[in-house]
Structure 1
């Protein structure tokens, strides 16, 4: 029996919602899996590297660890992996892989875990729940992680339109974390916390204009990361000037994401920034899915 997993990409933070707000986007990691005599993993397409060592593969390692924690042994799998999510661009590629691993372990090791339990484990792997929660549940997820639980609230945002601008170069999350300060002034913390509160209010009420305004009000990470992304300040100024409600770094970057009115025309933006790949998309309302099928598409 072969199963197919489909996991959406995600954007995290949406400005001041640092490490707690995530939105699912309609770019997908797809994994076809079946039981096999030994572990075998194949990557297909331009957004995945060649598999150099199966034993260190993130999906395999994570799936085996989840099964082990629940007293089960995950039998070897044959995996065919394709992805529309570019690596190291701030669109949740690692989160999608971790979520895929959770679904694989849950299915093939017969763990019978609910999605909330999978979220707890996935968040512990990522270190924060924003991307993995959006990938699991779809829509927009506002989350909080403590030492012993993950709490979340979900909004669908069906009418929201996003402009996703993907640069050609990677930016590793570790590098983007290194530029952040180790402490903030009280004034910075108060201002960013208030902006995050207003951001969530805008998301909860479907107010795209308020969300856009708050996207530019962060003081926790955006001022320090913009310098790592060439042309980002110019892009932000121009796209907002042409009618976007607001623009922020997607996750740790370098992708930039804007909330835009439905009528927004991306043609002039693409001409000004030909090195960016632009996508005008809606929120992905469906989260991670597992479909059982009998015949492999790779057979």
Structure 2
């Protein structure tokens, strides 16, 4: 069996812990029953031996497989990883979603994407990354009574993502420590109104409006101060014509939405200004979790 999950960009400015979308950069796992347990990693993380012995995927997979089948079975797992780790592109969410889905497939139990999403919520208590990882596209999501409720928008192929990936990681837990303990009423209303306008802009495909709608007062500036070069990244992106330019998740990656016709130019400008960073032009992913039997 082969299961793949796309990278995601969450928050998208003001939509703290609630908005996210998927881009076509995938982690894939192939597995089958085996006499002996084994793990092989290719791509991102292949040079990190710790991942083979302390693997988040394996822990979640075994937990669900044992619960579903009431037995133990060895498997051979081969991971093909494209999503950079600890860079704000949803690498952890991809692992969680693929582990839950793989365990159900291995047990011969087919469940809906919504069910997989709600299982994933146990390990990632914010829905902004796991929802687009499962559903694909742009998603607005919330959690009520331990369940994810969301709405998806299919993203057209005439817009692209240009992501700039710094050579430094940002730990999500640590980045949350720099956020304010409380917010003023004015800032709360500011983010509520900009989040609402962002969602409306996505669903109405009013991409130009996102330049304004994606402004944030909750988290971006505090997190960007941990890597000040990101302020220059955002400035260059907007001056070059980006439709929106936001910190991807908690960083360090910066996400830019652009028109297809502008993608090469904006990408080249970012590469010229920030040669030490990696710049990728990606399609949006509307499929989310893919299971191939």
The range that moved more, 46-55 or 263-272, is: 46-55
Q: Distance in 2 between matches of 1:192 and 1:246?
A: 16
Q: Alpha-carbon deviations, 1:57-85, whole Å to 9, x = none?
A: 11111112233454644522110111111
Q: How many residues align?
A: 289
TM superposition shift of 1:243:
1.1
TM superposition shift of 1:270:
1.1
Give the corresponding residue for 1:281: 282
Asked if residue 82 in structure 1 is aligned to residue 83 in structure 2, the reply is: no
Q: Is the 8 A contact 1:211 1:246 kept in 2?
A: yes
Root-mean-square deviation (CA, aligned residues, Å) is: 1.7
**Change over 3 Å in CA distance of 1:195–1:53 after alignment to 2:** closer
Give the corresponding residue for 1:118: 116
Give the corresponding residue for 1:271: 272
Give the corresponding residue for 1:291: 292
Q: Is the 8 A contact 2:27 2:80 kept in 1?
A: yes
Q: Is the 8 A contact 2:65 2:106 kept in 1?
A: no
Ranges in structure 1 where 5+ consecutive residues have no aligned partner: 293-299
Give the corresponding residue for 2:42: 44
Q: Distance in 1 between matches of 2:162 and 2:45?
A: 20
Q: Is the 8 A contact 2:68 2:104 kept in 1?
A: no
**Change over 3 Å in CA distance of 1:71–1:25 after alignment to 2:** same
Q: Distance in 1 between matches of 2:45 and 2:28?
A: 12
Using the size of structure 2 for normalisation, the TM-score is 0.93
Using the size of structure 1 for normalisation, the TM-score is 0.91
**Change over 3 Å in CA distance of 1:15–1:53 after alignment to 2:** closer
**Change over 3 Å in CA distance of 1:153–1:53 after alignment to 2:** closer
Asked if residue 236 in structure 1 is aligned to residue 241 in structure 2, the reply is: no
**Change over 3 Å in CA distance of 1:49–1:125 after alignment to 2:** farther
The range that moved more, 56-65 or 251-260, is: 56-65
Large movers: runs of 4+ above 6 Å: none
Q: Is the 8 A contact 2:44 2:83 kept in 1?
A: no
Q: Distance in 1 between matches of 2:9 and 2:20?
A: 6
Give the corresponding residue for 1:147: 145
Q: Is the 8 A contact 1:13 1:130 kept in 2?
A: yes
The range that moved more, 102-111 or 61-70, is: 61-70
TM superposition shift of 1:89:
0.3
Q: Distance in 2 between matches of 1:142 and 1:69?
A: 31
Q: Distance in 2 between matches of 1:54 and 1:247?
A: 35
